Amino acid sequence: MNARIESFPPADLSPYLIGASIFVVLLAGLFIYVAKQKRAQVEAAARAAEADARLSELLKVQSEMQGRIATIADVFGSTQAELTRTLNERLDGMTQRVSTTIRDQTQSTHENLLQLQERLAVIDAAQSNIQTLAKDVVGLQAILSNKQTRGAFGQARMETIIADGLPMGAYSFQPTLSNGARPDCTVHMPNGAPPLIIDAKFPLEAWNVSRDAAGTDAGRAAIQQFRRDMEVHIRDIADKYLIQGETQETAFLFVPSESIFAEIHENFEGLVQRAHRARIVIVSPSLLMLSIQVIQAVLKDQKMRAQAHVIQNEVATLMVDLGRLDERVRKLQGHFSMAQKDVDMIATSADKLTKRGARIEALEFEGSESAKAVRDAELAAAKAAEQRAGVLKLRVVDDD
């Protein structure tokens, strides 16, 4: 074979080498491609496994999330139901409170309206009273502007004070005295003393003029005229109503106004002193009322003194009855003491009987002689108790 090889001439191997190289390259590329494909398949399988794992994990997480979502939904549902119930309860309570508040406010408003209506009615009544009072004041002014009607007004006020303070029969209005004079009122004094004279005719013409024209010449002239009128009136009372032995040595000059009374004592001291020397006392309605109360107390004291012997007789009779009551109470106390002794003896006998029964129950018999002695003693105690009870009955009957 070597000879044959040697016999061929050398040929050009470059195409073959190139083809072999290409084949080797292709084969290497094929191996590389196959390796890459296998690596890619392995990686794809790994990625698929990882994806499956992740997918399973995601599915697990999803199931857990679904369970949590369901739990949260249940919690949210119960919470929502509780919240709804709480809101409903609060809304109901708020609605009830609002209704109660509205009802209370409505009732309060209704009551306030009723009170307002009542006050308006009172205000209307007060307004009507004020209007009536204004008419009365106008009428009073008309009365005081007339001498006769003014005298009647002072007379009526004085009579009202007297009638309210003294009982019937203790006074007389406009009686006739022995000299023919007729005072406005006489108050009968106790113990047969002469009556007290009260005059209600007070001069006010010059007084009203002096008030209306104060500080002027006409006012000063009116004051002088009022002083002269008062002096004349005081002298007339002293001459007509102060009768020796028939009337009191002092008389009252009634002034129907407290303000006029205060003005007289403040600015007309000479008139007050002149009236005092003439034994005339100037009194206002309050002083007249106080004097009447003093006279009423004196009358009550006089009546009490007149009835003193009757009261003493009644007290003596009361003391006799009280002594008789004390005696009877002491007798009743003695009866109760005797009855208590009998009850104590009865209780003693009952105790003995109880002890005897206990001994019989326990079969603790003694000798016949001792038992007979005990029975005799018990019978004697019972007879003594009966005899005392009979004596008590006889004593009670005798006392009655």
Q: What is the pLDDT of residue 287?
A: 86
How far, in Å, CA of 186 to CA of 159, rounded? Answer: 11
The pLDDT-based confidence of 398 (bands split at 50, 70, 90) is very low
Q: Mean pLDDT over residues 196-202, rounded? A: 84
Q: What is the pLDDT of residue 327?
A: 84
How far, in Å, CA of 343 to CA of 391, rounded? Answer: 14
Q: Is 399 helix (H, G, I), strand (E, B) or coil?
A: helix
| Residue 238 pLDDT > 50 | yes
Q: What is the pLDDT of residue 15?
A: 67
Surface-to-core class of residue 170, CB atoms within 10 Å of its CB (0-12 exposed, 13-18 middle, 19+ buried): middle
Q: Which residues contact 301 (CB under 8 A, 6 or more apart)?
A: 190
- Of residues 252 and 151, more confidence is placed in 252
Say how many CA atoms lie within 13 Å of 18 toward its Cβ. 4
Q: Mean pLDDT over residues 201-213, rounded? A: 73
Enclosing H/E stretch for 283:
strand 280-283
Q: What is the pLDDT of residue 351?
A: 80
Choose the most confident range, by mean pLDDT, from 72-76, 141-145, 271-275, 311-315. 271-275
| Residue 239 pLDDT > 60 | yes
In the structure encoding, which two tokens stand for residue 162, read together? 């007297």
The pLDDT-based confidence of 13 (bands split at 50, 70, 90) is low
Choose the most confident range, by mean pLDDT, from 16-30, 273-287, 306-320. 273-287
Q: What is the pLDDT of residue 152?
A: 61
Residue by residue, DSSP assigns 151-216 as: HHHHHHHHHHHHHHHS-TTSEEES---TTS---SEEEPPSTTPPPEEEE-----HHHHHHHHTTTS
Is residue 243 within 8 A of residue 197, CB to CB? The reply is no
The single-letter DSSP state of residue 9 is: P
Enclosing H/E stretch for 364:
none
In the structure encoding, which two tokens stand for residue 302, read together? 């006089």
Q: What is the pLDDT of residue 393?
A: 45
For the ranges 38-42, 99-103, 105-109, 140-144, which has the lowest average pLDDT?
Answer: 140-144
Q: Mean pLDDT over residues 173-198, rounded? A: 85
- Of residues 147 and 219, more confidence is placed in 219
Is residue 147 within 8 A of residue 205, CB to CB? The reply is yes
Sheet architecture: strand order including 185-187: 171-173, 185-187, 196-199, 251-254, 280-283
Q: Mean pLDDT over residues 207-233, rounded? A: 79
Is residue 177 within 8 A of residue 237, CB to CB? The reply is no
The pLDDT-based confidence of 372 (bands split at 50, 70, 90) is low
Q: Which string of b and e fits 195-229 if b means at least 16 CB within 10 Å? A: bbbbbbbbbbebbebbeeeeeeeeeeebbebbbeb
| Residue 214 pLDDT > 50 | yes
pLDDT in tens, 325-336: 888 888 888 878
Other beta carbons within 10 angstroms of residue 241's beta carbon come to 24
How far, in Å, CA of 303 to CA of 110, rounded? Answer: 60
Token look-up 């003896």 returns: 345
Q: What is the pLDDT of residue 153?
A: 61
Q: Which amino acid is at 221?
A: A
From residue 110, how far is each of 97, 98, 105, 122, 124 by CA, in Å?
Answer: 19, 18, 8, 18, 20
Q: Which string of b and e fits 301-334 if b means at least 16 CB within 10 Å? A: eeeeeeeeeeeeeeeeeeeeeeeeeeeeeeeeee
What percentage of the chain exceeds 70 in pLDDT?
79
Q: Mean pLDDT over residues 271-275, rounded? A: 87
